[in-house]
Amino acid sequence: MPSRNYNTHKTSMSTKVEATIEDLYKVKGKAEIVNGEIVEMSPTGRLPHHAAMEIMVSLRSYAKTTRTGYPIGDNVGFVVNLPHRKSFCPDAAFYVGPNPGMKFFDGAPVFAVEVRSEGDYGPRAERQMAQKRADYFATGTQVVWDVDLLSNEVVHVYRASDPESATIYQRGEIAEAEPAVPGWTMPVDDLFLQ
């Protein structure tokens, strides 16, 4: 068998520096750190913003009543530690843990909401959303909502206990986020403009 010389070609090594949480603090707008890079997210449209805001307002009411957790609106950072992901920035969320003051939250929310925007459709988008849900579950999130305002199946509720299956809620129904937000419910119709 002939000997092989693996040193005959020089390969260039990437000297790319991975983005840090400190870099993320400098971003003007919504962004996450994925695969060592800052991934900026475009502004959302009126309908997705309204849906995310309604979820946060409902969670705020729940938190005031139960005196538990933090209701989170859009553009809030959560620092996590996966090999390929260092942060999340959900459209709405519920967090149970220490108050970070002026800093990002340390760790993932127990409940995260991703409201689809215009670019969140098609095979590539579906793969990206499935990977993001897996990342949420890997960091301790218990429930993830995938909200699709253009579908009859508006709210897909994914749980860490069964991440491949979703409970689906349509208009006229009441959605929930058990066990992440015990006893909290929200009418699906509230996600739409009146």
Class of domain 44-191: alpha beta
d(CA 147, CA 188): 10
| Percent of the chain's residues with pLDDT above 90 | 78
| Confidence grade of residue 185 (pLDDT, cut at 50, 70, 90) | very high
Q: Which long-range CB contacts under 8 A does 174-180 form with residues at least 24 apart?
A: 175/145, 177/94, 177/111, 177/143, 177/145, 178/143, 179/142, 179/143, 180/94, 180/110, 180/111, 180/141, 180/142, 180/143
Q: Which of 14-28, 46-60, 73-87, 149-163 has the lowest mean pLDDT?
A: 14-28
| Confidence grade of residue 28 (pLDDT, cut at 50, 70, 90) | confident
| Residue 153 vs residue 5, higher pLDDT | 153
- pLDDT per residue over 83-110, tens digit each? 999 999 999 999 999 999 999 999 999 9
Q: How many CB atoms lie within 10 A of CB 73?
A: 17
